[in-house]
Structure 1
């Protein structure tokens, strides 16, 4: 019987947590130094971790996997839309708990288990979460990476941001995910595929997509899986 292999779930959850770590590090450094550029310079370390450790990140999958729908060669098979949607869904659902778990742990640390006032970093997270969600509701252009928002908005809510669950999903997570889908798929993945020709898709990656409806399938090996 098919099942979701544990290492696939763990890799995806860790990817969500790592994005949370990187985001909280950016905010912490910005609060301490007063310059956001200082924090921003540290954010790429998460991307390096993802590449080195073979993490499954939904934003990268939104970009790369559609190429397998239009590319085929002697060693690969064309992938159907149902398999692509299933793969996206599994990775999204596995990134989500990792991000949320780190948000809970960070909220506990920043409030000393609820026994102390919210720290300066926590206050900044509240402001960012509220500003992003409220601004998106009015203007529709305050999104980030959907994986970052899986951590950022829940962290702000846990620390005291005046946001409801419906606000979080309807005015942030869902629109940002759709924006990542359109931007990543059309303006990055498919655009590069068109510009450079139909690049061959790694056979193992295609196999992963074909089994995504029930499993994240085999470990992606040495290919970049952002």
Structure 2
């Protein structure tokens, strides 16, 4: 395999910053189309994972297969809110021309809208499927989706502030893994390499039950359409809003900023204490570079 199949961290950060700049400057039409398709495909992946889990009784198998949706949408160049939570701020921090707070909020708002519309469309279509066009009660998959919505709204509310904290932390942990997957999509120049790098963290977050704002744009409206026992207010206050905030903090803090600080703004290596700034032995003062990727 060619050496260029793996992109080293310093070069990876350059790609992340450039991607954030590109997405922030993208036209309104293209931003919404790509976000719409991203939300729709991820929702299909979530529906697939729930179906697998219900039909087999194996949650691990559902989590193992859930990344299919995430991988497809990124290979096709579509966008998720969770990804731009990391990418666009990096372009702003790097002072790319035309990237300020206005451009950042514009991108986030448009991607949120597109993701929601795409996920909601799939929620409606799946509700039709699991009820034979609302002619019967939801089947086992529909009932499972409704229970997810109830447990992950009212279930948090029952614990008050502790529940809200747990929800926020789950949102953070989720986008830590998701943005690791987003970076993974740029970590290799081969399709197989991209798939492997994206698959691992996405499988982890889904099986661990972390909170993903776009997945929830499908699960919770689906539950409401299917008659689950929670309200729109429960969904917004006890899931979507705290999840979005947690996703912002987790993706940007644990992936974007840490990668940027250490690989784009790398400090000079420390010299051994025995050396002084006046050392003239070039062979010692400038130690050979070590390939840390091996």
After TM superposition, the runs of 4+ consecutive aligned structure 1 residues lying more than 4 A away are none
8 Å Cα contact 1:59-1:181 kept in structure 2? yes
Map of 2:116 onto structure 1: 96
1:186 shift after superposition? 1.2
Pick closer, same or farther for the CA change 1:29–1:17 going to 2, 3 Å. same
Map of 2:28 onto structure 1: 4
What is the rounded CA distance, in whole Å, between the counterparts of 1:196 and 1:46 in structure 2?
30
Give the gaps of 5 or more residues in structure 2. 1-26, 172-210, 267-294
8 Å Cα contact 2:34-2:78 kept in structure 1? yes
TM-score (norm 1): 0.81
What is the rounded CA distance, in whole Å, between the counterparts of 1:78 and 1:185 in structure 2?
20
What is the rounded CA distance, in whole Å, between the counterparts of 1:104 and 1:192 in structure 2?
39
1:152 shift after superposition? 0.6
What is the rounded CA distance, in whole Å, between the counterparts of 1:17 and 1:164 in structure 2?
23
Which residues of 2 match residues 68-79 of structure 1 at below 5 A?
Answer: 68-72=91-95, 76-77=96-97, 79=99
What is the rounded CA distance, in whole Å, between the counterparts of 2:215 and 2:33 in structure 1?
18
8 Å Cα contact 1:71-1:78 kept in structure 2? no
- Bigger Cα Rg: 2
1:77 shift after superposition? 2.5
What is the rounded CA distance, in whole Å, between the counterparts of 2:48 and 2:238 in structure 1?
25
What is the rounded CA distance, in whole Å, between the counterparts of 1:117 and 1:164 in structure 2?
19
Map of 1:17 onto structure 2: 40
What is the rounded CA distance, in whole Å, between the counterparts of 2:63 and 2:113 in structure 1?
27
Q: Is structure 2 residue 155 aligned with structure 1 residue 135?
A: yes
Q: CA RMSD in A?
A: 1.9
1:47 shift after superposition? 1.9
Pick closer, same or farther for the CA change 1:67–1:169 going to 2, 3 Å. same
1:198 shift after superposition? 4.7
Map of 1:214 onto structure 2: none
Map of 1:192 onto structure 2: 259
Map of 2:144 onto structure 1: 124
Higher relative contact order (CA 8 A, sep 6+): 1
TM-score (norm 2): 0.63
8 Å Cα contact 2:37-2:73 kept in structure 1? no
8 Å Cα contact 1:66-1:190 kept in structure 2? no
Map of 2:68 onto structure 1: 45
Which residues of 2 match residues 144-183 of structure 1 at below 5 A?
Answer: 144-183=211-250
Aligned residues: 194
**Which SS does the other structure have where 1:55 is aligned?**
coil
Q: Deviations over 1:133-155 (max 9, x none)?
A: 12332312245110001101000
1:52 shift after superposition? 1.2
What is the rounded CA distance, in whole Å, between the counterparts of 1:171 and 1:45 in structure 2?
28
Q: Deviations over 1:36-58 (max 9, x none)?
A: 01111111112211221100211
What is the rounded CA distance, in whole Å, between the counterparts of 2:256 and 2:73 in structure 1?
18
